[in-house]
Structure 1
Amino acid sequence: MKDKILFYTSFPKPITGQTIVTQKVWDLLYNDPRFVCFKINTSSSTIVKKFFTFISNYFLLVKFLILVKPRFVYMVFSSSKLGCVRDFFSIFIISLFSNVKLISHVHSGNFGLEFLNFPFNLMLKYNLERVTTIIFQGKQVNFLGSKYDYKIKYLMNTISSEFSISDNEFKEVSCLRKKNFENSGKIKLFFLSNFIISKGYLDLFDSYELLDIDVFDKFELHFIGFWFDDRSKSEFLNKVTKSSRSNCIFVHEGLSDRLDVKKLLVEMDVFIFPTYYPVESQPLSILESFSLGIPVVSTYHATIPEMIEDGYNGYLFEKRDHNQLLNIMRGLVNYEIIEYLSLNARDSFNKRFSEKEFESKFIQLLYA
């Protein structure tokens, strides 16, 4: 008999790291003959819609629990206070059905730190005591202490196979990158994320501006992402225009399709991500880069040190430390080093972050 699993969480849209991974989990289990999957999409756009969505979803949840009788319920813990309240009522309803195994996935890098005061601390305690399994993406983002260790499992994310490439394609891409370098003499560095200050795009720009003349000329710098406000966009584009190195700086915005992003990345050499974003957990952009054999330079932050092996598949540096970043960038002028890191980045993805690896471990967690 097939096991029934109810997904009670948000799906794309919006496009976020959490919704992308949720869709990935859904796709894996939906296509697995051992499971029958059901979905309640909790996404909503405005505050008013959120309220009515919460209420209607509670009725839907009761309906599914009574009629479908799922063995598993999969939900994502929220890191916001409003989300904590929503989770409290959802878990209260689910806990009325004692035969249900509740799997809660954590995607934020600060889960629990916002719930230290009354009444959220009591709600969090209630929620944690009633879930069956809590999934974190890494030990660096687990702030719950040892009390719930028996419920906690660790699972790194994966990405869609559509974004990745085969081993033969990787060889072709590697040859293309090297040929581009030999023809242009330029190494293509890039930033990929939403344009949020704490994601580090200004840190990268400022570090690039400080590079010695004989070094910066060996690089192209590409910024890829989305803007949240016109003022920040205007200020940054103005900085780029005024830069004496503007002919080597390129800004790509509004790429909503990840396959369009992939087409751009296959020509890139190194991903630089100076993030200190407070709720960072496990950036999917690092996995996307590894899957294409792109080494990553990033910070000792969230689960990133659990993904990047310094000097093997990329480099790590302290948050906001421009001098460390500058020294790393100076070392990247040697293309043989980039080739070495690239092979290891690809190997890291295949061994640790592939779809097959994720599916196998996730199903083990379900039945643990």
Structure 2
Amino acid sequence: MKKVCLIGQFPPPVHGLSKALDTIIKSGYMNNKYELEHINIKDNKKFVGHLTQLNRSDADIYYFTISHSKFGNLRDMIILWALLKKKKRVIIHYHGGRYKELYQSLNILQKQINRKLIDQTDIVIVLGNSLKGLFSDVIDAGKIRICENYIEDEALLDNFEFEIKINRLYQGDMEVLYLSNFIKSKGYQDVLQAANRLKNANVRFHFAGKFFEEQDKEEFMDYVKQHGLENNVLYHGVVMGEDKKKLFERCNIFVLPTYYPNEGQPISIIEAMGNGLSIITTNHAGIPDIVSSRNGYIIDKQAPDQIASAIQELMNNREYLVQHANENRLTTLMKFKEIDYIKRLESIMDEVS
């Protein structure tokens, strides 16, 4: 049995990358095939200890998730250098969408280090076809592989629940969901402005996620109050498990008008797809690989009027909701289940075994 060492930022906190790593380490399928160990590098104060763990590891394959930032890149290159010294197989998995931009911002020396070290890795994984060019400055295209994100099994409605939802799409109020961290470039303010434009329509907006700045939360709540949106906008805080699943079950439309610089391929969009929501989002990062006019709307960034127009069109043509729901459900069950993600990784690891 081959030994695989997973290196990255494990939960808590829970975000797309940490959740993906946690899924691998807890996967019965992966544990039956490989002997898994992991090194959690989220605390940079323990960096020397992390290097000590790496030096003691005798794994056959090293699976390394790298950072989006300049400082993180410095740390990652030191770790990568230590891994390559072992003369073992090394796989990099990049969960973002801005490595090329990061690379261009580096000084000459750091660029040289990135080229020299990343070129020696066996495989670099990106989240979608549109992101394959991110590493064109540092590695041959033949070493790039794609592994799309996934929906956790516990977040997916069962078939009976989905059928009930489909039957509800033809009637009742429209329920719109924004579920993501409350970072301004994720576009939550644009969704809030769209809610204001539609406040006289039968539309209810649900917001869920974490505010990192208290001032941002105060501004959000003040906007709701000042524009009389108390009956139109609900803030649910951070939702997980059954609470999150119930929101997906309740809502018809998912809106994530993101222009977040570190965006890769939002797991929240795949979760919404799997639970039969129409998608309204932007042509950003790896999103066009999973959203098109077949299953939702691609809008411009920072365009609340376009969000409102798309929602209005769905209200006036509810058959579109049903079409999108069935398309998204089918696609997710075919490609984006948890086991599909695990088997994509297995296939990549088999290449280097």
Alignment TM-score, normalising by the size of structure 2 = 0.92
Could you tell which deviates more after superposition, 157-166 or 29-38? 29-38
The alignment partner of 1:235 has SS state of: helix
Cα deviation 1:40-64 (Å, max 9, x = unaligned): 11122xxxxx23x110110111111
Q: What's the counterpart of residue 157 of structure 1?
A: 149
Pairing of 1:82-101 with structure 2 (within 5 A): 82-98=71-87, 100-101=88-89
Q: In 2, Cα distance between the equivalents of 1:360 and 1:351?
A: 13
Structure 1 residue runs without a partner (length 5+): 45-49
Residues 1:325 and 2:304 aligned together: no
CA contact (8 A) 2:2 2:35 kept: yes
Q: What's the counterpart of residue 255 of structure 2?
A: 272
Q: What's the counterpart of residue 32 of structure 2?
A: 33
Could you tell which deviates more after superposition, 121-130 or 317-326? 317-326
The alignment partner of 1:302 has SS state of: coil
Q: In 1, Cα distance between the equivalents of 2:12 and 2:346?
A: 25
CA contact (8 A) 1:189 1:220 kept: yes
One-letter code aligned to 2:66: F
Q: What's the counterpart of residue 293 of structure 1?
A: 276
Q: What's the counterpart of residue 252 of structure 1?
A: 236
The alignment partner of 1:363 has SS state of: helix
Pairing of 1:8-27 with structure 2 (within 5 A): 8-27=7-26
Divergent runs of 4+, >6 A: none
Q: What's the counterpart of residue 202 of structure 1?
A: 189
RMSD: 1.9
CA contact (8 A) 2:24 2:30 kept: no
One-letter code aligned to 2:194: S
Deviation at 1:307, TM superposition (A): 0.6
Q: In 1, Cα distance between the equivalents of 2:204 and 2:187?
A: 18
Q: What's the counterpart of residue 227 of structure 2?
A: 243
Residues 1:126 and 2:110 aligned together: no
The alignment partner of 2:250 has SS state of: coil
Deviation at 1:10, TM superposition (A): 1.6
Q: 1:219 aligns with which of 199, 203, 216?
A: 203
Could you tell which deviates more after superposition, 53-62 or 86-95? 86-95
Cα deviation 1:192-235 (Å, max 9, x = unaligned): 11111111111112123234x7xx42211111111111111111
Q: In 2, Cα distance between the equivalents of 1:187 and 1:323?
A: 17
One-letter code aligned to 2:208: I
CA contact (8 A) 1:88 1:123 kept: yes
Deviation at 1:29, TM superposition (A): 6.3
The alignment partner of 2:164 has SS state of: helix
Deviation at 1:264, TM superposition (A): 2.2
CA contact (8 A) 1:274 1:298 kept: yes
One-letter code aligned to 2:24: V
Deviation at 1:31, TM superposition (A): 4.4
Return closer, same or farther for 1:336/1:152 CA change in 2, 3 Å cut-off: same
The alignment partner of 1:18 has SS state of: helix
Q: In 2, Cα distance between the equivalents of 1:219 and 1:238?
A: 20
CA contact (8 A) 1:313 1:342 kept: yes
Deviation at 1:174, TM superposition (A): 3.0
The alignment partner of 2:262 has SS state of: coil
Cα deviation 1:107-159 (Å, max 9, x = unaligned): 11111422332332122112311211100001333422275201110110112
Pairing of 1:334-349 with structure 2 (within 5 A): 334-349=317-332
The alignment partner of 2:102 has SS state of: coil
CA contact (8 A) 2:65 2:95 kept: yes
CA contact (8 A) 1:104 1:133 kept: yes
Q: In 1, Cα distance between the equivalents of 2:153 and 2:242?
A: 11
The alignment partner of 2:142 has SS state of: coil
One-letter code aligned to 1:103: I
CA contact (8 A) 1:74 1:103 kept: yes
Q: What's the counterpart of residue 94 of structure 2?
A: 106
Q: In 2, Cα distance between the equivalents of 1:25 and 1:277?
A: 26
Q: What's the counterpart of residue 47 of structure 1?
A: none
Q: What's the counterpart of residue 167 of structure 1?
A: 159
Q: In 2, Cα distance between the equivalents of 1:19 and 1:259?
A: 20
Deviation at 1:244, TM superposition (A): 3.3
Q: In 2, Cα distance between the equivalents of 1:367 and 1:132?
A: 12
Aligned-pair identity (%): 25
CA contact (8 A) 1:240 1:246 kept: yes
Q: In 2, Cα distance between the equivalents of 1:131 and 1:27?
A: 25
Structure 2 residue runs without a partner (length 5+): none
Q: In 2, Cα distance between the equivalents of 1:87 and 1:273?
A: 30
CA contact (8 A) 1:81 1:114 kept: yes
